[in-house]
Amino acid sequence: MAGFNRRHFLGLAGTAAATAALTACTGTGSGGNGGGNAGGAGSRITFWSNHPGTSRDVELELIRRFEAENDISVQLISAGKNYEEVAQKFNASLAGGEQPDVVVLSDVGWFNYALNKTIEPLDTHFSSAGVEPDDYVDALLADYLFDGSHFALPYARSTPLFYYNKDLWQRVGLPDRGPESWQEFGEWAPELQQAIGNGKFAHSWGNAIDYLAWTFQGPNWTFGGAYSQEWDLKLTDERTIEAGNWLRDQIHTARYANVSPDIATDFAAGLCGSTIASTGSLSGITATATSFEVGTAFLPRTEQPGCPTGGAGLAIPSGIPDQRKENALKFIEFITNAENTAYFSQNVSYMPVRKTAVESDEFAQYLNDNPNARTAVDQLPFTGPQDNARVFVPGADQILGTGFERIALQNADVESTFADVQEQIQRIIDRQIAPNLPR
């Protein structure tokens, strides 16, 4: 299908230096129904967030800073406990409810809104809002490029990291680093499993809700597999099936791995020796893993890229007045500027999204003092753009994750499971995406 070539639009391939919604309102802005207004000075912005990485207090500080420099108030709305609940609330607003000015959208959420023209293409507003796109990390900004326009700006961006228990590593006599490849980890795993003991695991994977389709994407690439190449699905290809069988064998044959509904909590509690989790989980894991020292490393890789980016960006509804759009973009630019993205990164553990933030002496010192936080920044040039089949197909993240759960939890046959998953995703592409792609 030639209608939309993602790598043409994203270009850089990641080489550059991530139903009952809550409606409680917080923030320093004025009250009201959350609808904002169309004026300039004295305007109000509503910001819908799930507070990625438990960042509510940090977001309130960013709002305080913005209001101190602008005659615009900001109302922070807790729009859900995760990205999916925010999307549900946003969908309801598009069907006739009160729309926000700024909304957090995940890596798997923004594209469908862009395709259906319900979020604003931002480039025509860059100049008036003072946005300098060249200062955003190229790979992160390019993730929101579709049909020649950017539909969000990067905010709470992450990569998966390989987290490991340094004390366990030392007890087994392993070098203080992550495995260079998944094959090397397979050599380490039996000793790690013996040392960690029964009822625990050398490695844990998250479940479908805990973004297994995201965390398994990089390992799949290292086998030469893929969920898709552009819009051509690859789940039944030999290399993808090989990666799926490798996942099944860890759990059901070698028995050194499992699937957990909360990998961050399990890892911090010492129930597994290693896991793959988001950069945004670092601060929480570090705070709660009190019985051992936490290490982070690049995801194991071969000649293929072994790590995707992920996380969330900030978008603006297309159906609000132009003045609200301009005010909203000024707010997005401000809370993602070099100083504020560095503040967000230091307090929440997501990656800084601006190049000049990384160049500052203060942030360089922070990275020197926090080598685990440095891992994600150093890994960024070795990441790749996610496969269309996960990020651009509505509901595909959960379809993929549920398929992996069948393999991991039920020992389901990989080839037939992947064939079923591919068929489900292909139907969505044919019905919902292909008719709307630019020609």
**SS (HEC) of 25-37:** EECCCCCCCCCCC
pLDDT for 10 equals: 42
- Please tell me the least confidently modeled range out of 14-28, 111-125, 266-280: 14-28
Cβ(103)–Cβ(79) below 8 Å: yes
pLDDT for 37 equals: 57
Q: What digits encode the pLDDT tens for the residues 386-418?
A: 999 999 999 999 999 999 999 999 999 999 999
Q: Which pLDDT band holds residue 163 (cuts at 50, 70, 90)?
A: very high
- What one-character-per-residue DSSP string does 217-258 give? HHHHHHTT--SEETTEE-TTSHHHHHHHHHHHHHHHTS--EE
pTM: 0.87
Q: What digits encode the pLDDT tens for the residues 62-100?
A: 999 999 999 999 999 999 999 999 999 999 999 998 999
In this predicted structure, the answer to whether residue 40 has a pLDDT above a threshold of 60 is no
Cβ(272)–Cβ(263) below 8 Å: yes
Report CA 54 to chain centroid distance, whole Å. 14
Fold matches, 44-157+310-359 and 160-308+384-433: yes
> Pick from 426, 107, 229: which is nearest to 434 by CA?
426
- The domain 44-157+310-359 having CATH identifier 1.10.3720.10: the answer here is no
CATH number of 160-308+384-433: 3.40.190.10
Domain boundaries, the chain: 44-157+310-359, 160-308+384-433
Sheet bearing 153-158, strands edge to edge: 25-26, 72-78, 43-49, 102-106, 310-315, 153-158
Q: What is the 3-state secondary structure (H, E, C) of 68-128?
A: HHCCEEEEEEECCCCHHHHHHHHHHHHCCCCCCCEEEEECCCHHHHHHCCCECCCHHHHHH
In this predicted structure, the answer to whether residue 243 has a pLDDT above a threshold of 80 is yes
pLDDT for 392 equals: 95
Average confidence (pLDDT) over 153-178: 97
> Pick from 42, 6, 337, 263: which is nearest to 144 by CA?
6
Task: Please report, rounded to a whole number, the percentage of residues in the chain having pLDDT higher than 90.
Answer: 83
Instruction: List Cβ neighbours of 359 (8 Å cut-off, separation of 6 or more).
Output: none
Q: Which pLDDT band holds residue 438 (cuts at 50, 70, 90)?
A: confident
> Pick from 277, 256, 292: which is nearest to 170 by CA?
292
- SS3 state at 53: coil
Instruction: List Cβ neighbours of 41 (8 Å cut-off, separation of 6 or more).
Output: 71, 72
Give, as one character, the DSSP assignment of residue 3: S
